[in-house]
Copies of this chain bind each other. A is one copy, B any other.
Amino acid sequence: MIKVLQVGIGPVGFRVISTLRERRLGRLVGAVDFDLDRLRDASAESGAEGASSLAELAPGERPDVAIVTTSSSLEACMDTFRALLDRGMNVVSSCEELLYPWLRHPVLAAELHERAVRGGARILGTGVNPGFLMDMLPVAASAVCNRVERIEVFRLQDASTRRLPFQKKIGAGLDPAAFERMQQSGSLRHVGLGESLHFVAHYLGFDLERWEETLDPVLADRELESGLGPIPAGHAAGVCQIARGWIGERCVLHLEFQAAIGLENPHDRVKIEGTPPLDLVLHGGVHGDEATAAMLLNCIEPLAAAEPGLHTMATIRLPHWTPGG
Residues of A whose CB lies within 8 Å of any CB of B are 19, 22-23, 128, 132, 136-137, 139-140, 142-148, 203-205, 274-284, 286-287, 290-291, 293-295, 297-299, 313-323
- Interface SS of A by simple majority: mixed
Smallest beta-carbon distance A92→chain B, Å: 12
Q: Which residues of B contact A282 (CB under 8 A)?
A: 278-281
| B320, A139: Cβ atoms closer than 8 Å | yes
| A128, B140: Cβ atoms closer than 8 Å | no
| A295, B143: Cβ atoms closer than 8 Å | yes
Contact among B142, B146, B297 for A290, CB-based, below 8 A: B146
In the assembly, what is the distance between CA of A295 and CA of B291, in Å?
Answer: 28
Q: Which residues of B contact A314 (CB under 8 A)?
A: 317-318, 320
| B294, A284: Cβ atoms closer than 8 Å | no
Closest to A313 in B: B318
| B144, A291: Cβ atoms closer than 8 Å | yes
Smallest beta-carbon distance A268→chain B, Å: 9
Q: Which residues of B contact A281 (CB under 8 A)?
A: 280-283
| A317, B320: Cβ atoms closer than 8 Å | no
Closest to A139 in B: B320
Contact among B276, B284, B287, B294 for A143, CB-based, below 8 A: B294
| B146, A319: Cβ atoms closer than 8 Å | no
| B286, A144: Cβ atoms closer than 8 Å | yes
Contact among B278, B286, B294 for A286, CB-based, below 8 A: B278
Q: Which residues of B contact A280 (CB under 8 A)?
A: 280-283
* CB contact under 8 A between A204 and B146, given known A276-B291, A286-B276, A318-B140: no
5 A-B interface contacts by CB (under 8 A) = A140-B320, A146-B294, A276-B286, A281-B282, A315-B318
| A279, B290: Cβ atoms closer than 8 Å | no
The 7 closest A-B pairs by CB, nearest first: A142-B321, A144-B291, A205-B323, A143-B319, A276-B287, A146-B294, A279-B283
Closest to A283 in B: B279
Closest to A204 in B: B321
| A136, B318: Cβ atoms closer than 8 Å | yes
* CB contact under 8 A between A140 and B142, given known A281-B283, A283-B279, A322-B204: no
| B144, A318: Cβ atoms closer than 8 Å | no
Q: Which residues of B contact A205 (CB under 8 A)?
A: 322-323
